[in-house]
Structure 1
């Protein structure tokens, strides 16, 4: 469903992502791990279009989307949740999700269509808020939510888009112990559908071990390892060059 071929970006003389080639299949969850500065979020930014590639390609269902803007990639089925939340801060929780539902239904600014489907979009938005346990905060202004709730709201907005590819960049960062299971349960449910591709950047190795079908390891922008979790974690190369850093972060 998703593939990168020799994907590369340079900032001056620094190569942040260095000819990374990977293919990601529907029904799988791939964890992308590596120490700070390894290129994980930059790789995400190249895939989702926040950064332009210096070399290489990004393909979605065989279509070269390397030069397409973020909005076009989103409409083709790439969905991204950020390490820092991306919300409409002055709008209510419900309105944030409703706008995402409306975007998915491609109602745009056609006011007649919006009016006709208003009840339907609101109903779906409320259902999504129930799933992330924010239904009791539907009328709250998004900017006033605690950080953990803002993360859950962003996940609800991403689910409203129902993309082919879900990209989660440290989805549980900044959440309390009580909040983390809500987001992990949602990711498990998406994975159980078996028809979506999920990419997950995550530092917590217990989460990676539980959820991932596959791990890829980036180090200095290069693909160091790629395979089933147990094999990658046990790899001498990863053990010597990387895993100690992960375990220290996870601890």
Structure 2
């Protein structure tokens, strides 16, 4: 594990290094807003088959880091590499076509269209099928079958004909995940995927992320505040603080490290019982 500038344990880094080239990498990625550095020279490599949770307090730079990777924001400095290709300056649509998928911000929902039509449009976008008014594109069996499969996977098949505007917030979040599945990215980026969902809805999304994680050709990045979700999903945790990479490594080691315990779990140094609860509770 790496905490701050000091390398405490390089085992996790070495195991990733021998796993092959990274699917996604940021090198000294930086963005400044006037005199404020929101993300400061963050260098991380993410590998296929690995789920990395990005944690930190509000204002740490997590979502801004996501926005840089997916193309919503142009960096002030640094590089973004996708499969070794420099995609730093590519706009969102071009990054999406190359395989960077961003849930909840990559694709806007069409509130006046049905649930099914929203997913079908995403399938067509991925397949690069245009809307030709002279063809009956709605009868395209392959497109329809893939859209139906995505709706089944996010438990929305029974609401396929409803207009999106009529869906409760939790179902809209599930639909956004369904749209991401339809785009078939190599890199899945989830920004607090269970936020606003009821207790009954959360297992659907967590189970889906677990399913994606089992596909060793996919790379998953997850911003999450709920530590029980982090513990259940993460292969690796990175911690951002004031735009800086503060810790990177095995989940148990990162959560148990004193600097992370103090900064993010509110546990005072030397409070062994609280540290144990923070690590396992």
Shorter-chain TM-score: what band? over 0.9
1:32 aligns to 2:47 (yes or no): no
CA deviation map 1:134-159 (0-9, x unaligned): 11110111111000000000000000
1:129 aligns to 2:135 (yes or no): no
8 Å Cα contact 2:28-2:77 kept in structure 1: yes
Counterpart residue number, 1:75: 97
User: Of 184, 187, 191, which aligns to 1:165?
Assistant: 187
1:177 aligns to 2:212 (yes or no): no
Cα displacement (A) at 1:88: 1.1
User: Of 94, 100, 104, which aligns to 2:122?
Assistant: 100
8 Å Cα contact 2:53-2:237 kept in structure 1: yes
In the alignment, the residues of structure 1 paired with residue 172 and residue 255 of structure 2 have an alpha-carbon distance, to the nearest angstrom, of 32
1:200 aligns to 2:222 (yes or no): yes
Counterpart residue number, 2:64: 42
In the alignment, the residues of structure 2 paired with residue 52 and residue 13 of structure 1 have an alpha-carbon distance, to the nearest angstrom, of 16
Counterpart residue number, 2:33: 11
8 Å Cα contact 1:8-1:17 kept in structure 2: yes
In the alignment, the residues of structure 1 paired with residue 85 and residue 112 of structure 2 have an alpha-carbon distance, to the nearest angstrom, of 36
8 Å Cα contact 1:98-1:125 kept in structure 2: yes
In the alignment, the residues of structure 2 paired with residue 30 and residue 62 of structure 1 have an alpha-carbon distance, to the nearest angstrom, of 19
In the alignment, the residues of structure 2 paired with residue 109 and residue 133 of structure 1 have an alpha-carbon distance, to the nearest angstrom, of 27
8 Å Cα contact 2:237-2:250 kept in structure 1: yes
Cα displacement (A) at 1:113: 7.4
Counterpart residue number, 2:231: 209
Counterpart residue number, 1:55: 77
Structure 2 CA distance for partners of 1:27 and 1:39, relative to 1, 3 Å = same
1:239 aligns to 2:261 (yes or no): yes
8 Å Cα contact 1:85-1:150 kept in structure 2: no
Return 218-227 or 82-91, whichever deviates more. Answer: 82-91
TM-score, normalised with respect to structure 1:
0.94
In the alignment, the residues of structure 2 paired with residue 13 and residue 240 of structure 1 have an alpha-carbon distance, to the nearest angstrom, of 28
Structure 2: unaligned runs, 5 residues or longer: 1-22, 268-276
Cα displacement (A) at 1:33: 0.2
In the alignment, the residues of structure 2 paired with residue 190 and residue 52 of structure 1 have an alpha-carbon distance, to the nearest angstrom, of 28
8 Å Cα contact 2:92-2:106 kept in structure 1: no
* Aligned residues: CA RMSD: 2.0
How many residues end up aligned between the 2 structures? 248
Counterpart residue number, 1:155: 177
Cα displacement (A) at 1:195: 1.0
In the alignment, the residues of structure 2 paired with residue 57 and residue 114 of structure 1 have an alpha-carbon distance, to the nearest angstrom, of 43
